[in-house]
Structure 1
Amino acid sequence: MAEQLQALEALKGDAGFKKEIEFETKLRALLAEYGYSLPNVINLLDPQASRRAPAADSRTGTRKPRQVKVYKNPHTGEVVETKGGNHKTLKAWKAEHGSASVES
């Protein structure tokens, strides 16, 4: 805790830090005077910034669920509903009757 206080005191005496604080204070006062916020300024300086940030978030979401497909055995009339092609019965039908026959 004492080390943190010493570091803070050292920063308060730093001329560069004082200039940064002064700049930020003046900038915020100017923005308030004209009714702007920091996001408004960022959008003015870099209009693409707001479009780039959400794009990364949307890609991390879940993907669209697969559509259920219905297959009917052309010889027995049996029906199989599946979301993928890795279905045991469907594979057996394709091996027995051919993929083109089962897919149609």
Structure 2
Amino acid sequence: MSVITTYHNKLVEMDRLKAEIDRLKNSEELKDALAFQADLEKLMDKYSKSAKDVAAIVGGEVATTKTGRSKRTPSTWVNPHTGEKVVTAGGNHKTLKEWREEYGAEEVAKWKE
């Protein structure tokens, strides 16, 4: 697709989105939702409560913006032959790889504390 075609397609898409936004702005549903949000935020400020606090009170969950996987807990391996310690959250550590090559993966797995 040429740059000019892409440009024109984006203009058409932008016009469509503007029309959709205008319809939303005029809807009573959005006006009610925005009014509720403003009132709720005022109450949260008045009582020094966060969204998590409010969710806990009403029994819901708060959507988090955090994405990706959670942090891994570090593990410790101790080489019984050398006494060397390795602490890492993943199993792809340079020293662990060397130990696996030298002693075998099953043997090194036993060294995990």
- Structure ranking higher in helix proportion: 1
Higher relative contact order (CA 8 A, sep 6+): 2
Larger Rg: 1
